[in-house]
Amino acid sequence: MKYRSGAILLCFACFVIATGCWDREELSDRAFDLAASTDLAKDGSYLSAGQFIIPSRVSGKSSDGDPYFIETGSGKTLLDAVQQTRQKLSRIITRGHRRNYYIGEELAKHGIRDMLDGFSRDPGNRIRLDIWVVKGGKGLEALQVHYPLEKIPSVASVKIHRAIGGTTGTSYLDFMMAASEEGSSPTLPVVDIIKGNSPQETIRFYGRAIFNHDYKLVGYLNFVEGAYRQWILRKIAYLDLAEEIPETGGSAGVIIHHFGSSLKSSVSDSDKVKMEVVLTGSGHVSENNTNLNLNNSENLLLVQNEINKKTSEHVLAMITKVQKQYGTDVLGFNHIVNRQHPAAWNRMKGQWDRIFPEIEVNVKVKINLKYVGLVGPPLQYKESEIK
């Protein structure tokens, strides 16, 4: 009887804890913010926008219109702009489902320090958020693009990035970590808005935006350059390359996977730094426009060596661009020196912005081509033309 009374009291306590709506905010009283943007107006004010879901149009086959709408607000500060947006909504904004935040190019050049301060203080912002720079355009324009493959167009950027082998849900966290580390400079993924053969605009993944220590945009890496950077940082899952093979008068394309990278630094007594970068990967031939029969191991080795040579040159060109043109370490070289030469790093860390552009870098790419596809010789050549 004693144990039964205790069990009844325990069950009653569980019911009290488990039931009830503590915050008194029903789902029907919430406006779900799926994506947002911020732009800098000509008068220096902020223009904020949000893409909100219309629940009644999300499910089913309703043809009443888009399952979302966009609302905007402007103000002298970002908080003021958001407040102007709230004044137009009948529901409380909920940002727990927001995945993308677009920043216009003008705002990125002006600097996003103040915006990120508000981000970090607001518990409603997800840590797994992707922030994008809109190259040559405005954040609001990215929200307004209709993407035909997705009901909610704001998810297109994330899915495109994932489909081409990139990492998603990390750019906000990565940016803040890089911005707070000695010697590092932050980056963000980039989209641009283009028109294909049809008049309809679409959104495209462009590459990476490079920021300085003042959180100001200083330049871009295009898609391939950004992929090389991700390779160095071991944050890539897929990459396809095509190179001319001079000995054959044609080109070969390969798809690379299973990436690896190794960085080794040396520091002289005068604090001159050298960096050896070795990038590895395995892959297969996806296109053969040469006259070589790639079932022949010598021919395959010829293509492999040429691709390794040219890719090494391209990676070095990307690193040189970052060093000389932007002068910001977005390659993690500071971490390598810190880990491999801690005493030297203690001397250099306050001068890393001066040292980084002068680092002597050597790059070696080692791609191992394992497969040539279903056929070895190219089908577009006659048998007599094939080597």
Domain containing residue 342: CATH number? 3.30.300.210
For residue 2, being part of any structural domain is answered with no
Examine the domain organization and report whether 240 and 213 are in the same domain: no
For residue 18, being part of any structural domain is answered with no
pLDDT at position 74 is 93
pLDDT at position 374 is 56
Give the domain-ending residue among 191, 221, 251. 221
For residue 7, being part of any structural domain is answered with no
Task: Report how far residue 59's alpha carbon sits from residue 96's, in angstroms, rounded to the nearest whole number.
Answer: 20
Examine the domain organization and report whether 190 and 239 are in the same domain: no
Examine the domain organization and report whether 57 and 125 are in the same domain: yes
Examine the domain organization and report whether 180 and 251 are in the same domain: no
Examine the domain organization and report whether 273 and 164 are in the same domain: no
Examine the domain organization and report whether 120 and 80 are in the same domain: yes
pLDDT at position 63 is 59
For residue 14, being part of any structural domain is answered with no
For residue 324, the 8-state DSSP code is I
Structural domain count, the chain: 2
For residue 227, being part of any structural domain is answered with no
pLDDT at position 119 is 75
Task: Report how far residue 170's alpha carbon sits from residue 191's, in angstroms, rounded to the nearest whole number.
Answer: 16
pLDDT at position 88 is 85
For residue 187, being part of any structural domain is answered with yes
pLDDT at position 64 is 67
- For residues 255 and 283, the answer to whether their CB atoms sit within 8 Å is yes
For residue 8, being part of any structural domain is answered with no
Examine the domain organization and report whether 333 and 210 are in the same domain: no
Examine the domain organization and report whether 194 and 62 are in the same domain: yes
Give the domain-ending residue among 166, 195, 221. 221
pLDDT at position 137 is 94
pLDDT at position 204 is 92
pLDDT at position 5 is 57
Beta strand residue intervals within the chain, DSSP E:
30-40, 46-53, 68-75, 92-94, 100-104, 130-134, 187-195, 201-211, 217-221, 239-245, 250-267, 273-288, 360-371
Task: Report how far residue 353's alpha carbon sits from residue 330's, in angstroms, rounded to the nearest whole number.
Answer: 11
Task: Report how far residue 295's alpha carbon sits from residue 281's, in angstroms, rounded to the nearest whole number.
Answer: 20
- For residues 187 and 166, the answer to whether their CB atoms sit within 8 Å is no
pLDDT at position 238 is 86
- For residues 341 and 271, the answer to whether their CB atoms sit within 8 Å is no
207: Cβ–Cβ under 8 A, 6 or more apart, which residues? 189, 190, 220, 221, 222, 223, 224, 225, 226
Burial of 258 (0-12, 13-18, 19+ CB in 10 A): exposed
pLDDT at position 155 is 85
pLDDT at position 117 is 80
pLDDT at position 384 is 45
- The sheet that has 250-267: what strands, in order across it? 239-245, 250-267, 273-288, 360-371
pTM of the model: 0.85
Examine the domain organization and report whether 195 and 278 are in the same domain: no
For residue 210, being part of any structural domain is answered with yes
Domain that holds residue 65: 27-221
Examine the domain organization and report whether 324 and 345 are in the same domain: yes
Examine the domain organization and report whether 365 and 303 are in the same domain: yes
pLDDT at position 9 is 58
Which parts of the chain register pLDDT below 50? 21-22, 384
Q: How far apart are the first and last CA of the chain?
A: 93
pLDDT at position 24 is 56
Q: Which of 174, 309, 177 is nearest to 241 (CA)?
A: 309
Q: What is the CA radius of gyration of the chain?
A: 26
Examine the domain organization and report whether 32 and 98 are in the same domain: yes
pLDDT at position 386 is 55
Give the domain-ending residue among 202, 221, 240. 221
